DNA sequence: CCGGTTGGATAGCTAGCATATCCAGCGTGC
DNA sequence: GCACGCTGGATATGCTAGCTATCCAACCGG
């Protein structure tokens, strides 16, 4: 398959494919002569993955590159590889050096502890969650451990019973990370959209009738 | 309070505040003379809201403006106002005109129907979810109604029992939308981060020991 | 042997989000 | 009562991300 066909198959313009090649997101095709390379099914897959992470996941190119580098680093064990890819999916957050931040972070650690979760002490998600709590508080919303528990409970079961089962740990390592990344990003989106639908519905239930009568 | 103090209080630089004023995100202060305006607590609140939606929610300025306009449109009922604000939070998705898209969309409609959710037929979330399903399928992940149900179930209870209760429907209308928007965006983030923590934990459980022994 | 494609290099573009600069008019501290 | 610094308002400029366009020489296929 030549670059023009790769472009047609995936709908990604040729200049953009060249850009991804330059950026190292897409491995070069098999160079068959100075001005001709051949691309295969793996390239189509990879290109679709890139677009999904970009468009649905809104990940920056640099994060996508990090994910891809994790996949291609053969020296890593499967768990380490998943971890690297996973961390690349987290937005960077700088811890603030304030008391309110420390308090929020302590609450996060306590939540993880009481659920018995195995999460690295340095996991970026800890700081990210702490930061979100601080932001909520600054906006006047109190957040306590009991507020967080239902979220952890709801999501814990979901991940255990439905997300992990989709990952083919027995297949080639590349397939496993890919499925993991897809699961994290795309099902993250699913969860988010479904939640917004549920909110609309609850809001309608609580308010639409009242509005209709009151106005 | 003068603009310099507003800037110090919120940590937002003066030129940025001026920019938000120009963009209509922040109402002008009370003009006290040709070269002096006074800002109050409402401005501090608004500025924090803007920053939270921008930084945590990653909403574009235009979406934030739409939310704010919904708040300020006094002619709308509370439900309508929440709806407008809510829709502004959804990323725009163009429906594809393909069979696979139509099938995905039908599945979304069925999910909403079987849960008895009150969601507008034109709600952007329907298209958004359909698009995500199409993307998942193109990446080789089959998605069926039974795959989606657990997500709807997990999130339905969460929204009903924990999110809606945080909205003060009896207070001033501005407070209600604000709480609703904050809930949608910030607790959306909470859910996302918690899910990623749960994934890390499950992955560790399933793989870390195996890796340790195998390598 | 020639029109069209390719790889590779470099330059340019657009959107989004600010920053910077400039200016004249205040107004407060002295 | 006056100088210095802040203010509002207008305009210009900057910066990053993610492309997109142009150019060129090598090449292939008919």
Residue in B141, B188, B202 nearest the CB of A182: B141
Q: What local confidence, expressed as pLDDT, does residue A214 receive?
A: 47
Name the nt closest to B31 by C-alpha to C1': D8
Residues engaging strand D (CB under 7 angstroms): A 13, 15-16, 18-19, 32-36, 54, 60-62; B 2-5, 14, 18, 21-22, 28-29, 31, 35-37
Cβ B14 vs Cβ B4: under 8 Å: yes
Would you call A204 and B79 a contact, using CB atoms and an 8 Å cutoff?
Answer: yes
Phi, psi at residue B30, to the nearest 5°? Answer: -75, 115
One digit per residue, the tens of pLDDT, for chain B of length 215 reads 999 999 999 999 999 999 999 999 999 999 998 889 999 999 999 999 999 999 999 999 999 999 999 888 888 888 888 889 899 999 889 999 999 999 999 999 999 999 999 999 999 999 999 999 999 999 999 999 999 999 999 999 999 999 999 998 888 888 888 999 999 999 999 999 999 999 999 999 988 766 544 44
3-state class of B67 per DSSP? helix
Residue A135: which of B56, B161, B206 has the nearest Cβ? Answer: B56
What tens digit of pLDDT does each residue of A194-206 get?
999 999 999 999 8
Determine contact, residues A169/B202, Cβ cutoff 8 Å: no
The closest CB to that of B82, out of A77, A163, A203, belongs to A203
Hey, what are A56's tokens?
């649905």
A154 contact B CB<8A: yes
* Nucleotide nearest to B14 in CA–C1' terms: C19
DSSP assignment letter at B141: -
Closest residue of chain B to A154, computed from CA coordinates: B154
Burial A133-163 (b: 16+ CB within 10 A, else e): bbbbeebebebeeebbeebbbbbbebbbebb
CB of B139 closer than 8 Å to CB of A184: no
CA distance A4 to chain B (A): 20
pLDDT tens digits for A130-153? 999 999 999 999 999 999 999 999
d(CA A78, CA B210): 9
Q: At residue A33, what are phi and psi to the nearest 5 degrees?
A: -170, 180
Residue A211, pLDDT above cutoff 80: no
User: How much is the CA Rg of chain A, to the nearest whole Å?
Assistant: 22
- Best of B52, B76, B177, B194 to mutate (most A CBs within 10 Å, chain A): B194
Q: Give contacts of A148 with chain B, Cβ < 8 Å.
A: 190, 194
Could you tell me which of B167, B200, B197, B172 has the C-alpha nearest to residue B183? Answer: B167
Sign of the torsion formed by the C-alpha atoms of A188, B203, B111 and B141: positive
Asked if A125 is an interface residue toward chain B (Cβ–Cβ < 8 A), one would say yes
What's B26's DSSP letter? S
More confident residue, A172 or A50: A50
């Amino acid at each position: 398959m030549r670059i023009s066909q790769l472009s047609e198959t995936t709908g990604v313009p040729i200049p953009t494919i060249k850009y991804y090649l330059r950026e190292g997101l897409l491995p070069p095709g098999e160079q068959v002569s100075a001005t001709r390379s051949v691309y295969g099914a793996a390239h189509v897959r990879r290109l679709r993955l890139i677009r999904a992470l970009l468009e649905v996941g809104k990940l920056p190119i640099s994060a996508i590159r990090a994910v891809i580098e994790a996949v291609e680093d053969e020296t890593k064990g499967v768990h380490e590889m998943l971890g690297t890819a996973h961390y690349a999916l987290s937005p960077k957050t700088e811890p603030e050096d304030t008391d309110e931040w420390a308090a929020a972070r302590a609450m996060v650690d306590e939540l993880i502890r009481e659920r018995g979760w195995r999460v690295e002490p340095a996991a970026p998600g800890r700081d990210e969650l702490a930061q979100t709590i601080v932001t909520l508080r600054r906006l006047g919303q109190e957040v306590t451990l009991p507020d967080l528990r239902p979220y952890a409970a709801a999501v814990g079961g979901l991940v255990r019973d439905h997300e992990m089962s989709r990952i083919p740990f027995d297949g080639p390592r590349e397939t496993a990370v890919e499925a993991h990344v897809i699961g994290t990003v795309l099902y993250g989106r699913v969860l988010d959209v479904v939640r917004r639908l549920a909110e609309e519905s609850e809001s309608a239930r609580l308010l639409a009738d009242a509005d209709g009568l009151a106005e």
